[in-house]
Amino acid sequence: MAANPTAPTALWPAPHARGAVDATVHVPGSKSVTNRALVLAALASEPGWLRRPLRSRDTLLMAGALRAMGVGIDEGVGPDGSGEAWRVLPAGLRGPATVDVGNAGTVMRFLPPVATLAAGDIRFDGDPRSYERPLHGVIDALRVLGARIDDDARGALPLTVHGGGALDGGPVSIDASSSSQFVSALLLSGPRFNQGVEVRHTGRSLPSLPHIRMTVDMLRAVGAQVDTPESGGEPNVWRVTPGALLGRDLTVEPDLSNAQPFLAAALVTGGRVLIPDWPSRTTQPGDRLREIFTEMGGSCELTEYGLEFTGSGRIHGIDVDLGDVGELTPGIAAVAALADTPSTLRGVSHLRLHETDRLAALTKEINELGGDVTETADGLRIRPRKLHGGVFHTYEDHRMATAGAIIGLAVAGVQIENVATTAKTLPDFPDLWTGMLGSDGA
């Protein structure tokens, strides 16, 4: 019987590039934008459209959860007749319902605040790893704001939100040093709380600030009033005024963090990759790749067609704080392992609580291919060494799988375990990857 390539134990022979890549890659929509847009459209007072939404495990879980709470999300074409779209029809949120969060940080953190607005019980459960990911910031804050939640006193999943149809809201202090998504979660539902919400971050550091800016921008785009540290407010305090949200017609940008492996392919093979529709202005952290991968040896040009990224044939190490853009770490570590000088990646201790412990996983897997990576208190030190083939384990982490594929371009005989895990945010990854390489392997 033929091996099933989607079985978690299946090994995918990562294509080895035989030359410089030269490709145009259409990257699907942003996970972070799609899941915020779904939540905001569900909370709006009128229907809205979401064009070119990402359809991946994380976003289908979000759509499924909102549907379970009574929201209409229909397949359709956009108002101008072009492109794929979701029509979102807000409705009175209700339970009882069960939400499967999978291992999606956005679903497990953004939806408990939404559930407090539902009339009825909403039960949250997910993959085993979701039980270990931090959620206490959201649970504790919601209780302070008036919610009733049963979580077996663990401060984690599984849990039940006893939705009362409304929430008082008001001021709350949280420590969001383990995830920026705590702040985003409270802000997204904030306009629908009776008193709005004022979130004060009291922890020592706050990761992924661009993702909080994305939340604020998207809230403002649907008519919410948000005061932020950047708009003259207090440091580490965000305030959302209560009010109705507009239904909008939004086109989702390509996922720039998922563009990373393709840009890395240009860097690693000394080739050229064009990513169409790269936005000229965005809050996505992946936009930082223009600067980071340029420092690592490439060059890029942002034109009306998109981002054209060209490798020089040389890859340099980098010393960089990735605290703002933590989700880029696996891909940068993979490129750094192939560089001509050492790298230090800093500011990402919170990655230990992502899809897997990414610092431990990257260290182990790159070292098992002959690499020299050490974990530091807040990141990785990577000294390039000649690598050899072998199995690259992925720990159900989509970004581990794409990191392994990057290494496989330069190192013959790399096999990725469970490449299907990329479906969390990038369902067609193996086809996009082989399509980029073309029939002659580059």
Ligand X SMILES: O=C(O)C1=C[C@@H](OP(=O)(O)O)[C@@H](O)[C@H](O)C1
Residue number with CB closer to ligand PEP (23 or 334):
334
Residue 202 burial by CB count (10 A; 0-12/13-18/19+): exposed, middle or buried?
exposed
Going by C-beta distance under 8 Å and a sequence separation of 6 or more, which residues neighbour residue 120? 94, 95, 96, 97, 163
What is the footprint of ligand X within residues 210-239 (CB under 6 A)?
Answer: 211
Restricting to residues 146-205, name those near ligand X by CB under 6 A.
179-181, 184
180 contacts which partner out of ligand PEP, ligand X, none, CB within 5 to 8 A by kind? Answer: ligand X
| Residue of the chain from 34, 56, 106, 394 that contacts ligand PEP (CB under 6 A) | 106
Contact letters for ligand PEP, residues 310-349 (x by CB under 6 A): -----------------x----------------------
How many helical (H) and strand (E) elements, i.e. helices and strands, does the chain have? 12, 23
d(CA 374, CA 371): 10
Nearer to ligand X, 211 or 393 (CB): 211
The residue among 36 and 399 lying less far from ligand PEP, judged by its C-beta, is: 399
Smallest separation, CB 207 to ligand PEP (Å): 10
Count of residues touching ligand X (by CB under 6 A): 13
Residue with tokens 């002959």: 370
Q: Is 253 a catalytic residue?
A: no
Output the six-digit token pair for 318. 């980098």
Residue from 21, 39, 69, 104 binding ligand PEP (CB under 6 A): 104
Non-local (6+) Cβ contacts of 36 within 8 A are 106, 110, 184, 188, 214, 215, 218
Is 312 part of any known ligand binding site?
no
Candidate list 48, 207, 323, 371; residue touching ligand X; CB under 6 A: 207
User: Does 354 count as an annotated binding residue?
Assistant: yes
Q: Which contacts qualify for 426-432: CB closer than 8 Å, 24 or more apart?
A: 426/28, 426/56, 426/255, 426/258, 426/398, 426/402, 427/28, 427/55, 427/56, 427/57, 428/28, 429/261, 429/401, 429/402, 429/405, 430/5, 430/12, 432/25, 432/27, 432/262
Least distance in angstroms from the C-beta of 179 to ligand X: 3
For residue 208, state whether it binds ligand X (rule: CB under 6 A): yes
- The active-site residue, picked from 198, 253, 308, 327, is 327
Residues 34, 56, 103, 106: which binds ligand X (CB under 6 A)? 106
Binding residue per annotation — 32?
yes
The pairing of strands 72-77 and 306-310 is: unpaired
Helix (H, G, I), strand (E, B) or coil at 227: strand
The number of CA neighbours under 13 Å toward the Cβ of 125 is 3
Interface positions with ligand PEP (CB under 6 A): 104-106, 327, 354-355, 399, 425
Interface positions with ligand X (CB under 6 A): 32, 105-106, 179-181, 184, 207-208, 211, 326-327, 350
Give the residue ranges of the annotated binding site.
Answer: 31-32, 36, 105, 133, 179-181, 208, 327, 354, 358, 399, 424
Q: What are the catalytic residues? A: 327
Give the residue ranges of the annotated binding site for 3-phosphoshikimate.
Answer: 31-32, 36, 179-181, 208, 327, 354
